[in-house]
Amino acid sequence: MPRIPIFKLGSSTDETIPPELASYKPSLSLEGLSVGIDNLRHDVHLSPKFTEMARAHVARLIARHGDVEGLLAAEAPAAVPRTAFLNKLTTVIKPGSKSEPADFKSVLTALHVAALNRAKAENNVTIDLLARLAVVKFLRLELNSQFAQVLERCRMMLKSYEGVRQQKALEYRERVASFQVRKKIIQRKTGQDLFLLLRDIEKETLARMRRSRFGENDSEGHKLLINRLVLSEDGRDDYLCAEQYVMLGNWERDPDRFIRMREISCEFLRSLQMDLPDDDAELDPWLNAPENAHALVGGGTPSESSPEGRSQKARLLSWVRLLEDQSVMEYVIASYEAVPLLSEYSSRINPQQLKNALVDRTECSRVERLIQEGGRLSANNLYAAVGRVASCRGSDRARVAGRFLRDFLRYHRDMRRLEALNSALDSINLIGNAKLRELSAVNGTLYEFLLQEEQKPAEERVLGH
C-alpha cells in the first residue's frame, strides 16, 4: 500500500504533525484466460468427487445450525411409502461420522493443491485464482440449493407423520417452521463455517505453496478471498456485521446507514483540511485502509505524551463532535451495546429494532412488550444496556468513536473487496452439463479442476490454453 503524506492540519505547533495515510483499491482480474462457449465467461468444471462431498457437507451444516438433525434422522412410519426424491435426500443429508468434516477438508485441500500445481505447470497464477473463485461460486450456490433441499425433506417427513403420531408431528412442525424463519441466520452460520475452512486451508497449506511456486509477491486477487463477507449475499447481514464489524442501520429512516456513515467519514477527512480530493468517490482508497483509523485518531485512545499523540487527540475530539452534530453518536454506542443482547433476544426481536431500542424511547417500549409477550424472557439486560448508552461520556465516548472509525473502515474495505469479487464471479460459468462440457473441451476453452485420481494421463487431455 502506498503511503501518502498529509499536510495542512490545524494551526498550532502541537497539531501540525501530519499522519501518513495508506490508500488501497481492491482489484481482481482474470485477464489472459480464455473465454468459454458463450464468448463472455470462463468455463469451469469442478471435480465430481469434490462437488458431491461439498453438497453433503453443506447440507449437514445447514441441518445442524437449523436444529433439524434429529428430525432428519427420525425414522418415518413404515406404512408410509417413501418417494425416490426423499430417498435421494436421505442419502445426501444423512448424519455423518465425526471423520466426514475432516474428509471434506482433505478433499478441498487436495483440489486447491491440484489447481495450484496446474497453475505452476502453465506458469500462470491466474489459473489458481480461477479455481479458487469457482469453488467460492459453487459453495454460494449450494448454500441456497441445500437449504431448499433440507427444507423439502423436512416437509416430506412431516407428511409421513400425519395421522400416525400427532404429538410428534406437532413438535416437528414447530421445528420446521422455526427452520424456515431462520433461513438467513442458518445460511450465515453455515457460510462462516465454510469461510473458516477456506481460511484455514489458505493459512496451513496454500499460502506457503503459492509463495514457493510464484515468489513472495502474492496475488491481490487471493487477498480478496480472505474476507468474512465472501460467502454472504450482499455483505449486509446484521448478525455478521455485529460479530465481525459494526451493525449499521438498514432501514431507510436509520441515520447510521452505510451510505450516510460513509458521507460523514468523508466530511471528517475534509474538515481536517487535508490535501485530499473533494469528490467522495475519490476518497474510497483512504476509506479502504483500516490502519488509517489509528493514524488519524489513535484508535480512540491516543497518548498525549508526544506531538503526534496530541494531534490524534485533537482529531479524535473533532470526530466525536461530528458524530454528535450528525445525531449518530448514540447509535454508534448502541451498535456495540446491542451485540451481547442478540443471543438473548434475537429469537423474538429484530437486531435493528433491538439496537434502536437502546436510543429511542418509543422503540424501547415496543421491545419491552415483545419481551413480556415472550413470557420466559427478562428485560433487565435491555434496561442495563439503555443505561450504559445514556451514561457513555467523556473518554468512554471517545474510545467508542475511535473503535467505530476502525471497524467502519474495515467494513468499508471488505465491502469494496466483495464488490470486486462478485464482479469476477459473474465472469465464471460453472459447467455441469456433460454435452456443454464436452463442447467447451473440444473448443479448448474448458478449465477443468480435478483431484489427482480423477485426472487423465497428459496425452489424453485436451490442451487449449
What is the biggest distance separating any 2 CA atoms in the chain, rounded to whole angstroms?
87
Per-residue confidence at 460, pLDDT binned at 50, 70, 90? low
pTM here? 0.88
Measured distance CA(155)–CA(151) in Å, rounded: 6
Residues in the chain, total: 465
Write the CA distances from 233 to 78, 122, 281, 297, 388, integer angstroms.
Answer: 41, 33, 23, 33, 33
At 169 the pLDDT is 79
Q: Which residue has the cell 492540519?
A: 9
CB count within 10 Å of CB 120 equals 17
Helix-strand-coil split of the chain, %, nearest 5? 65, 5, 30
Per-residue pLDDT for 303 more than 60?
A: yes
Closest to 202 measured CA to CA, from 229, 225, 230, 220: 225
Mean pLDDT along residues 313-328: 97
**pLDDT confidence of residue 356:** 97
Whole-number pLDDT of residue 326 = 97
- Annotate 53-105 with DSSP letters as a single string: HHHHHHHHHHHHHTT-HHHHHSPPPTTS---HHHHHHHHHHSPPPTHHHHHHH
Q: pLDDT, tens digit, for every residue of 64-74?
A: 999 999 888 76
Q: Decide if pLDDT at 57 tops 70.
A: yes
Task: From 282, 292, 259, 241, select the one nearest 18 (Cα to Cα).
Answer: 292
377 to each of 35, 97, 349, 370, 382, how far by Cα in Å?
Answer: 57, 36, 12, 10, 11
pLDDT in tens, 400-442: 999 999 999 999 999 999 999 999 999 999 999 999 999 999 9
**Count of CB atoms situated within 10 Å of the CB of 282:** 11
Query: Tell me: the pLDDT tens digits for 194-248?
Result: 999 999 999 999 999 999 999 876 678 899 999 999 998 799 999 999 999 999 9
What is the per-residue pLDDT across 137-186, written as a single tens digit (0 to 9) for each?
Answer: 999 999 999 999 999 999 988 888 776 667 777 888 899 999 999 999 99
Confidence of residue 38 (pLDDT cuts 50, 70, 90): very high
Q: What is the mean pLDDT of residues 112-140?
A: 97
Check: CB of residue 431 under 8 Å from CB of residue 437. Answer: yes
DSSP structure class, residue 206: I
Question: Hey, how many other C-beta atoms are within 10 angstroms of the C-beta on 460?
Answer: 7
| pLDDT, mean of residues 30-41 | 96
**pLDDT confidence bin for 54, thresholds 50/70/90:** very high
Average pLDDT of every residue of the chain: 88
> Residue 345: how many CA atoms within 13 Å on its side-chain side?
27
Query: What is the distance between the alpha carbons of residues 336 and 137, in angstroms, rounded to a whole number?
Result: 32
